[in-house]
Amino acid sequence: MGRSGLSHLDSRNRPTMVDVGGKEVTHREAVAEARVRLPRAVAAALRASGHRTKKGPVFDTAIISGVMAAKRTHELIPFCHPLGLEHCSVQIEDRRGGEVVVRCKVAVHHRTGVEMEALTGATVAALTIYDMCKALSHDIEITGVRLLEKTGGKRAYKRAARKARQA
């Protein structure tokens, strides 16, 4: 670990991939989410169409793209280790008020965690929803990309529940 305490810096503060060779192989899981805020008219049109646009089934396509992205995270983020994921699922919840919640859960037995894979999967699925709906409006927002929990490795993590929105 570099002098700064950051794991991706060597003793000379240059970028480096973390050496995980000495770590124990454990079962590791991570769950991340991203939120997509659709204008009300877009959300209504999407529901009325059965979540389809001219590009195809929006949520099904987003699920596939999220899984594909999670599997290829190491190709996108320079210091992520290539992992043979054992599980990856993307769930999409269409909520009232135009909010869509995308959650990605990833699992592996390995020496390194899968937080980045879960975050990448959730984010790319959200981007896919944006792409497939942008013909209806560009006033779509992707927000709240965050890790919800992780297990395995040195430290488990679980984010405190999000407080309900004030009406």
CATH number at residue 118: 3.30.70.640
Which pLDDT score is estimated for 2? Answer: 42
pLDDT in tens, 116-149: 999 999 999 999 999 999 999 999 999 999 999 9
95 falls within a domain: yes
Average pLDDT, the chain: 90
66 falls within a domain: yes
- What global pTM score does this model have? 0.88
Please count the structural domains in the chain: 1
In 3D space, the residue among 93, 30, 28, 99 whose CA is nearest the CA of residue 63 turns out to be 93
Tokens encoding 6: 């950051």
Label residues 76-107 b or e (16+ Cβ within 10 Å = b): eeeebeebebeebebbbebeeebbbbbbbbbb
Top pLDDT among 161 and 30 is at: 30
117 falls within a domain: yes
Q: What domain range includes position 55?
A: 36-153
10 falls within a domain: no
42 falls within a domain: yes
Q: Which residues are catalytic?
A: 131
108 falls within a domain: yes
1 falls within a domain: no
pLDDT in tens, 54-112: 999 999 999 999 999 999 999 999 889 999 999 999 999 999 999 999 999 999 999 98
56 falls within a domain: yes
Tokens encoding 91: 């769930």
